[in-house]
Amino acid sequence: MTGTLLIALALVALICLGAFGLASWRDRERRASRLAFGLAIAVALSFGLSALLPPQSRLAIVSIVALVLLASVLLFLLPIGRIERGPDIPHKRFDERDIMFARARLEPGSPNYAAYYALRPGNKAGDDRTRSLPGLLAPTASEANPPLFAATTATFDLIETLRSRVDGQPAAQRTGPDPTRMAVTVKGLARHWGAHSVGITSLQPYHLYSHIGRGSGEYGSPIHLEHTYALAFTVEMDRAMVDTAPAAPTLLESARQYACAAQIAIQLAGFIRNQGYRARAHIDGDYRVIAPLVARDAGLGELGRMGLLMTPALGPRVRLGVVTTDLPLAIDPRSDDLSVLDFCQVCKKCADCCPVQAIPRGDRTEIDGALRWRIKDEICFRYWNVIGTDCARCMAVCPYSYPNSPIHNLVRWAARHSGAARRAAIWLDRVFYGPNPAPKPAPAWVPAKPAPQTVHVRAGVSRHAAGTEKPKNSEGA
């Protein structure tokens, strides 16, 4: 009997680890694949050969395996890693003029430049230092890839054109929709047009920026938005492109998904206005809201260590879109799953892999009344201006960013339900994928990067700037 059990364990190990090895090979995870295949053979042989041992030895081995399995089940059920959400609602609105994207657009000598640095004189020296670097999409940046930069610019040009469509007048004839039915309809439309996940929340004052920093409207004007509801959605970024981070393909993919989110948001806003209600799309470069806060409150995820929205299925490997409106819509509850916060508290892989150490390694801190991790956005953005891309290194290495496949979904399910499983997943991630995995090569169709150039790295930027890594920032503060 014990011999049969050992043979069965050998087959189970061979099948499970072999399947993981094959999945890792398809995902281009060569280290994980080699380890999985090696373990599959080693464990299967160990159990298989154990079946040849004397009965007492076989019984001892089976007993040890049973105890390990029982201990694993008990650990899975124990309330390990429970974490309190704590206060996470900001006490005041954030000024869009303070985000790095708005500050980067200020032209020396312009009225807006003078007005901003009169308001925030402490930001001037650092921002001028950033402006002295090659810049995003610059031909002299360390990750410059002229064909991909040209394609990325074309996509951002499309987004620029779409910005004229973010708002408009509603139809004179107003329908009287049922809020529940209309919520189902707008969510269905969002998914039909390409959204991955969709949620609806009531629009709160802290969702809004306080003053205009970019996009339509007058720079520095207070923001007033008399809408009641906000629909937030995610679009998935291609894993193969993100895996190249911080190389140029990741910026090309960022632009593509910002454009995709913009098209979805503009179509949704147009649909709502055609029903006779006001609606505004919030898209790249023309937000009035802080998209991650809206998406979090709409039940799409939690704000993680790297400052991005962490979604249950794709982690931070998404871009966001928002539509605000006065169309009555049924509201989704905010997620009560705090497992992501516990995972980020323990993991720290994004912080370890950030080439300029812009991501904090400590606990969440209270900022304007809200507990959160706050990245060093100036250092992060300055690195972008050295390499010429938006880096996304933290997004690429995040264990939650792995493909939406059965094996990874099983790990995500376990991580949601058990603190012990979360800690085991973090350890296994380091074993199979490495603590600081190298960027992967781009898909075959992507033009190769030209020969590397010498880049003089300014103060405050890591010496890794010559071409390997970095972190992130997405929509909002």
pTM metric for this prediction: 0.91
pLDDT in tens, 263-281: 999 999 999 999 999 999 9
Which CA distances in Å does 210 have to 87, 205, 219, 287, 307?
A: 21, 9, 12, 11, 20
Radius of gyration of the chain (CA): 25
pLDDT in tens, 331-376: 999 998 899 999 999 999 999 999 999 999 999 999 999 999 999 9
Backbone angles phi, psi at 315, to 5 degrees: 60, -135
Asked if residues 111 and 356 have their Cβ atoms less than 8 Å apart, the reply is: no
Q: State mean pLDDT over 126-146.
A: 96
Identify the residue whose tokens are 């061979």.
14
Determine how many CB atoms are found less than 10 A away from the CB of residue 71.
Answer: 10
3-state secondary structure of 186: helix
What pairing do the DSSP bridges indicate for beta strands 370-372 and 309-310?
unpaired
pLDDT of residue 472: 38
Distance CA 100, CA 201 (A): 27
Distance CA 140, CA 403 (A): 33
Domain locations in the chain as residue ranges:
2-77, 134-447+470-477
Q: Is the predicted pLDDT of residue 452 greater than 90, yes or no?
A: no
Q: Give 424-455 as a 3 state SS string.
A: HHHHHHHHHHCCCCCCCCCCCCCCCCCCCCCC
Distance CA 237, CA 98 (A): 27
Q: Is the predicted pLDDT of residue 462 greater than 90, yes or no?
A: no
3-state secondary structure of 376: coil
Distance CA 46, CA 42 (A): 6
pLDDT of residue 460: 42
More confident residue, 370 or 176: 370
Distance CA 271, CA 442 (A): 38
pLDDT in tens, 113-125: 999 999 999 999 9
3-state secondary structure of 135: coil
In whole numbers, what is the pLDDT of the chain averaged over residues? 92
In this structure, what token pair is assigned to residue 81? 């890693």
Cα–Cα nearest to 354, from 265, 250, 435, 249: 435
Distance CA 309, CA 334 (A): 13
pLDDT of residue 41: 96
pLDDT in tens, 193-238: 999 999 999 999 999 999 999 999 999 999 999 999 999 999 999 9
Q: Is the predicted pLDDT of residue 392 greater than 90, yes or no?
A: yes
DSSP 58-124: HHHHHHHHHHHHHHHHHHHHS-TT-------S-SSPPPGGGSHHHHHTPPTTSHHHHHHHHH-GGGH
pLDDT of residue 26: 92
pLDDT of residue 33: 96
Q: Is the predicted pLDDT of residue 461 greater than 60, yes or no?
A: no
For residue 466, what pLDDT band results from cuts at 50, 70 and 90?
Answer: very low
Distance from first CA to last CA of the chain, Å, rounded?
A: 62
pLDDT of residue 451: 73
The proportion of the chain whose per-residue pLDDT surpasses 70, expressed as a percent, equals 95
**Among 96-105, 385-394, 397-406, the least confident range:** 397-406
Q: Is the predicted pLDDT of residue 468 greater than 60, yes or no?
A: no
Asked if residues 235 and 194 have their Cβ atoms less than 8 Å apart, the reply is: yes
Residues 6+ apart with CB under 8 A from 475: 284, 287, 290, 291, 292, 319, 320
Angle (CA) 301-304-308 rounded to 5° is 80
pLDDT in tens, 299-343: 999 999 999 999 999 999 999 999 999 999 999 999 988 999 999
Asked if residues 315 and 401 have their Cβ atoms less than 8 Å apart, the reply is: yes
For residue 1, what pLDDT band results from cuts at 50, 70 and 90?
Answer: confident
pLDDT of residue 459: 37
Asked if residues 367 and 374 have their Cβ atoms less than 8 Å apart, the reply is: yes
What dihedral angle (degrees, nearest 10) is formed by the CA atoms of 436, 438, 439, 443?
-140
For residue 387, what pLDDT band results from cuts at 50, 70 and 90?
Answer: very high
pLDDT of residue 336: 86
Distance CA 208, CA 224 (A): 8
pLDDT of residue 186: 97
**Among 18-22, 159-163, 296-300, 460-464, the least confident range:** 460-464
**Among 144-148, 326-330, 459-463, the least confident range:** 459-463
Residue type, 238: D
What dihedral angle (degrees, nearest 10) is formed by the CA atoms of 35, 41, 47, 51?
-170
Q: Is the predicted pLDDT of residue 136 greater than 50, yes or no?
A: yes
Q: State mean pLDDT over 80-84.
A: 91
For residue 453, what pLDDT band results from cuts at 50, 70 and 90?
Answer: low
Name 233's bridge partners.
198, 321
Determine how many CB atoms are found less than 10 A away from the CB of residue 97.
Answer: 22
pLDDT of residue 177: 79
Identify the residue whose tokens are 């930069």.
149
